[in-house]
Chain A
């Protein structure tokens, strides 16, 4: 469940703007989604192998060039699918919670 979320969030972040792995880490850490940074790399490699992501080597201001990840068209499609699935899920949960709330209140 958590891993699936993580995947979704990575795609979401990259949809908003292409970025370096370290930027993704920073944002995920801000959101308290990951504890250890190493978790990200197997996921990125897998998403890349599934052709949802692509990367190019981009020079950075300091140090050697780094991988700059972006979503592929396939990745965008997959993200849209995930999004609708997520909406459906949250609707279901919200509905249940709301119903539960009203029944306990009444």
Chain B
């Protein structure tokens, strides 16, 4: 006996077994991801869905009522795995990407990804566990312990979360586990993807009490952290947007003031030591720009994340992320330094009062 679901595929209703549904859903998601850089990706996948519906019709005419996993497998074999569907238009970057991907297929080197199938917060710990070949639960416990004693680690975790890419396709999941990437293993990963989930659910029952306690603890901490993060994120969005506006105005004001004030005051008070003011303008502008960056970069990141979750934007490359984070750190560091160094930079007019 199997549970069935009702799906609408290409405008026709089908009854489909639960396992067959998971497989089909997986396959369509993989297709969507594969074609994400194509023009008209939605249309391609939509057309393919229509074709799959047609094929189901063909199979179901042979007297069956329900689409089973056998039909879905046959359909996938007919339509082809995402990796088989390379269009000649994907040259340049993707081509080099592919050759880069093809190389480790022989040696089966591991790559660091976040694991989407086994995550509590961002899947960073399980990604490292897969990379190192350890048990995710112990990695998580180690993360929590390090975080308790060394608070900066939380920041490191967040950065790792941002930088480490999520393993989306079957190929990436294989690379994450260090399994060789070839046609067979990809096919296996695509078709067995759902079995792995079942396995992990089943295997939880056979784990030792200590292991269960540990993973329960990790899950609890993860849940609490998640709630805290969401609250912080919700609080931060209006603050960030407000601060962005303020800092932008500040940057404009700083530039405007510095450009116009000396010209006017020079005529009124030629005896003022304008040299000092001139020397202040550089740091003041830098400060305002740094402030702008400190606020703007997270806002851009959040916007990008939002767009991504709506599927409108492809994720940033790792190097872009690293660069932006470095930029942010430099800007933040400079701001802190100048705030501690002197508070006068913000108000360059004050310097002339003092110099007077």
Contacts and interface: CB of A to CB of B under 8 A. Distances in A.
B47 A36 contact: no
B130 to A, nearest CB: 29
Given A37-B79, A38-B85, A42-B87, A62 B57 contact: yes
Contacts, number: 74
A45 B43 contact: yes
B87 A46 contact: yes
Interface residues of A, number: 23
Interface string B68-85: 000000000111111011
Nearest to B57: A63
The listed residue with most B CB atoms (<10 A of its CB), out of A38, A39, A63, A66, is A38
B213 interface: no
B219 interface: no
A46 B44 CA distance: 9
Contact of A41 (B44, B54, B57, B81): B44
B38 interface: yes
Interface in A32-74: 35-39, 41-46, 48-49, 62-64, 66-67
B40 interface: yes
Nearest to A50: B39
Contacts of A67: 47, 50
B40 A36 contact: no
B89 A39 contact: no
Nearest to A7: B88
Interface in B37-77: 38-40, 43-44, 47-48, 50-51, 53-54, 57, 77
A56 to B, nearest CB: 14
Given A22-B51, A64-B12, A39 B88 contact: no
A99 interface: no
Contact of A42 (B12, B81, B85): B85
B78 A36 contact: yes
Contacts of A45: 38-40, 43-44, 47
A41 B47 contact: yes
B333 interface: no
Q: How large is the interface on B (under 10, 10 to 19, 20 to 34, 35 or more residues)?
A: 20 to 34
B12 A63 contact: yes
A3 B86 CA distance: 10
B91 to A, nearest CB: 11
Contact of A64 (B10, B78, B80, B84): B10
Contacts of B10: 63-64
Contact of A38 (B39, B40, B48, B54): B48
A43 B35 CA distance: 12
Contacts of A46: 38-40, 87, 89
A95 B77 CA distance: 41
B238 interface: no
B87 A3 contact: yes
Contacts of B78: 36-37
Interface in B294-334: none
Interface of B: 10-12, 31, 35, 38-40, 43-44, 47-48, 50-51, 53-54, 57, 77-82, 84-85, 87-89
Interface of A: 3-4, 21-22, 25, 35-39, 41-46, 48-49, 62-64, 66-67
20 contacts: A3-B88, A21-B47, A36-B77, A37-B78, A38-B31, A38-B82, A38-B84, A38-B85, A39-B84, A39-B85, A42-B35, A42-B44, A42-B85, A43-B87, A44-B47, A45-B39, A62-B57, A64-B10, A64-B11, A67-B47
The 4 A-B pairs at the shortest CB distance, nearest first, are namely: A36-B80, A3-B88, A64-B11, A38-B80
